[in-house]
Structure 1
Amino acid sequence: MLWLLLLHISAVVCWCGSLLYLPALITGTASQHTDIERERQQAMMLMVYRLFSTPVALMAIASGTALFITGGISKHWLIIKFTLVAVLVLCHVLSGWMLLLTQNRSYKNIGVASVLLRIVVAILIPSIVWIVLSKPL
């Protein structure tokens, strides 16, 4: 069970790090001036999103679910944690949608949207950590 907890924590750290990094990549892609630079940046964004961020997100969710099931945890704080994780999943989906917008070049205020996304993720991460460590309810 300890290895499962270690897997979960490392997957969550990687996922949250990639969620903080993806909006910066999206903003950087939108600001590229030449097509070659933009294509190279888009390829890197797709690689980070598809080959790193999404697999570690699935690993974090699967290992967290396994910890929940095997540990028999049924406390009230867990509902709050699940809600915050669901919002984090929505942020993951939003970053993928913003990625598609940059590929289609149909972005107008993508910089503002990516900053807002980064702020939401930066608030969610410590909130989830606080809920898990303090278990207030």
Structure 2
Amino acid sequence: MIVAGLKFLHLGAMFCWCAALIALPLLLHFYGSTWRHQTGDQKAQARYIEFRLITHYGYIAFATPAAIIAIASGTGLIFAEEVFDLWFALKLALVSGMALVHAWIGHLILTSAEKRSLHHLPSPVWALMLGVPLMVGVLWLVLAKPDLSWTAEFMPEFLLAPRGQQ
């Protein structure tokens, strides 16, 4: 029962986190480029405030809690299901990449607030171009659970032998 609950929580949080990793760069790219802050222009100021609220709360109140819940419940699943296969290590590497993309999106949101512009930064679309393949890779690894034992011949010996522990 606990494993089923953890899986449900993990899956729901991953869906939310992945949705945010797709939506926030799109908001930054399309919606963020439509406003221009001009002194005395009430409509531009209102659009800027709306843009800031959507991106800030989308990141702080939705994306980050979803990421934390996904990672925490996934960590619980590691030990509940005792999954220690090579495909799982690769999955963790891809999830780490997703966390880096998440942090970079947060940097873009913060910089858009400080500078009121994204023109001096790389396009937020790069976050999509990096994040979506990572998400697809995680999904593929989880569903396929490929046998990656053939990679052992390319690894140094010290990674394959126990280190005096059982």
TM range (shorter): over 0.9
Residue of structure 1 in register with 2:34 after alignment = 31
Secondary structure at the counterpart of residue 113 of structure 1: coil
1:94 aligns with 2:104: yes
**What displacement does 1:56 show?**
0.7
CA contact (8 A) 1:30 1:38 kept: no
Map of 1:1-137 to 2, 5 A cutoff? 1-27=3-29, 28-33=31-36, 34-105=44-115, 107-110=118-121, 112-136=122-146, 137=148
Counterpart-to-counterpart distance in 1, 2:9 and 2:102: 20
Counterpart-to-counterpart distance in 2, 1:109 and 1:3: 45
**What displacement does 1:113 show?**
2.2
CA contact (8 A) 1:22 1:45 kept: yes
- Give the letter for the 1:31 counterpart: T
- Give the letter for the 1:108 counterpart: H
CA contact (8 A) 1:30 1:102 kept: no
Question: Runs in 1 of length 4+ with deviation above 2 angstroms?
Answer: none
**What displacement does 1:109 show?**
4.7
Q: Between the two structures, name the one with larger relative contact order (CA 8 Å, sep ≥ 6).
A: 1
User: What whole-Å deviation, never above 9, does each CA across 1:77-135 have from its counterpart, x for those lacking one?
Assistant: 1110000000000000000000011001253254x521111111111111111011111
Secondary structure at the counterpart of residue 83 of structure 1: helix
Q: TM-score, normalised by structure 1?
A: 0.93
Unaligned runs of 5+ in 1: none
- Higher-Rg structure is 2
Q: Identity of counterpart residues, as a percentage?
A: 29
Q: What is the number of residues matched between the two proteins?
A: 136
- Report the structure, 1 or 2, having the larger helix content: 1
- Give the letter for the 1:75 counterpart: D
Task: Say what the alpha-carbon RMSD is for the aligned residues.
Answer: 1.3
